[in-house]
Amino acid sequence: MRIDDYCSLENGGLVLKNSLQSYTRENIITDHPAMNRQLDMLERAGEAPMPLTILGEKGSGKDMIAQFAHRVSKRSDEPFLKVNCAYLPEERLLLELFGSANTPGTLKRVAGGSFYIENADLLSSKAQYQLMHYINTEAGTPRDVRYMICLSKNKTTDCPDFAYYFGAMTFEIPPLRERPQDILLVAYQQLHKIKQEYHLERLLSPTVMSAMLAYEWPGNIRQLINTIDRMAFFCDTAVMDSVPMLRNCLSSHKQFKLGGTEAASLPKTKSLKEIIQEYEIMIINQYIEEYGSLRKAAAALKVSPSVLSAKLTKYYASAPK
């Protein structure tokens, strides 16, 4: 991929040649051939209740693909409900799915719509068999539900019927490192969002963009968006051209290092209090990115979620507009 296929250079920063709308389909932004072929497949299958399995690494946007599949289907006006197996203990999860004598479960409330099971590879064998029994018996069949699950790449399930049923259609999200054009497009989508919400205009220099394209992005889209946010708020100039700043804004993954060994330049115009506050916010954001939620980040940092929330709110409220 060549940067100049997508961007032109103006006043030291890269500007997209075409509108982001040229690469946007619903809420998905991509110019990657394999991604577009699979999105075409989902649109063609929109009339069928065919089950869907979504495969992808952490932070790759599996949730967004599930929502896209629902919106382009004939069920778009019906409920889209989901359950995340990573956040509920087994007993609570089964209660959420199937309900109790007095409370209907999620499976009974989604009639006519789509039901998405996130992190389905964490379902126990017992839960997998119970779900398949529900789907294949009179209890579930008349409800006309399209079922979707997401699995971490290369994960398998214990119940053969579960694997066969959800293997009817598979959407495999390529990791961000394999679709460099989307690194550029997602970065500019986030910069556009920052401009709209905070009236803060930022551009990427060719040097920084080249470094971003060379990075492996182990956290995929989630990590990229968080990195763009940090850079936009920490940078004092309209053109973000500091590779050391990019390095400082990236999470520290030993297996995915950014090239080069130069140290970050010291800020010359900020007080010690401001530097400490920015570093503290950077650490909090890295923990949220790594653990997936503010609550889990707070537990890892041994503080309450309200403390982290207050620090983030105070920092971003005082950020220059």
One-letter identity of residue 309: S
Q: Choose the most confident range, by mean pLDDT, from 210-214, 262-266, 267-271.
A: 210-214
Residue 255 has pLDDT above 60, yes or no: no
Q: Choose the most confident range, by mean pLDDT, from 39-53, 140-154, 249-263, 287-301.
A: 39-53
Per-residue pLDDT reduced to its tens digit, 289-311? 777 677 888 888 888 888 888 88
Tokens of residue 103, six digits: 């409370």
Helix locations, the chain, DSSP H = 33-44, 62-71, 90-98, 106-109, 125-136, 160-166, 180-198, 206-214, 220-234, 243-249, 272-291, 294-301, 305-318
209 and 110 in a common domain: no
Bridge-based pairing of strands 52-56 and 28-29 is unpaired
Name the nearest CA neighbour of 221 among 190, 246, 256, 252: 190
Q: By residue range, what is the domain housing residue 37? A: 33-172
Per-residue pLDDT reduced to its tens digit, 38-70? 999 999 988 777 899 999 998 899 999 999 999
Residue 104 sits at φ, ψ, to 5 deg, of -70, 140
Q: How many domains does the chain have?
A: 2
Angstrom distance (rounded) from CA 41 to CA 33: 12
Tokens of residue 164, six digits: 């066969």
Angstrom distance (rounded) from CA 70 to CA 43: 10
Residue 233 has pLDDT above 50, yes or no: yes
Where does a domain end: 172, 200, 234? Answer: 172
Residue 174 C-beta-side C-alpha neighbours within 13 Å: 18
The residue with greater pLDDT, 163 or 190, is 190
Residue 28 has pLDDT above 50, yes or no: yes
Residue 271 has pLDDT above 70, yes or no: yes
- The pTM score is 0.74
306 and 199 in a common domain: yes
264 and 140 in a common domain: no
> Is 10 within the bounds of a domain?
no
Local structure of residue 104 (DSSP, 8 states): B
For position 252, what pLDDT does the model report?
42
190: domain CATH number is 1.10.8.60
> Is 295 within the bounds of a domain?
yes
Tokens of residue 50, six digits: 């065919």
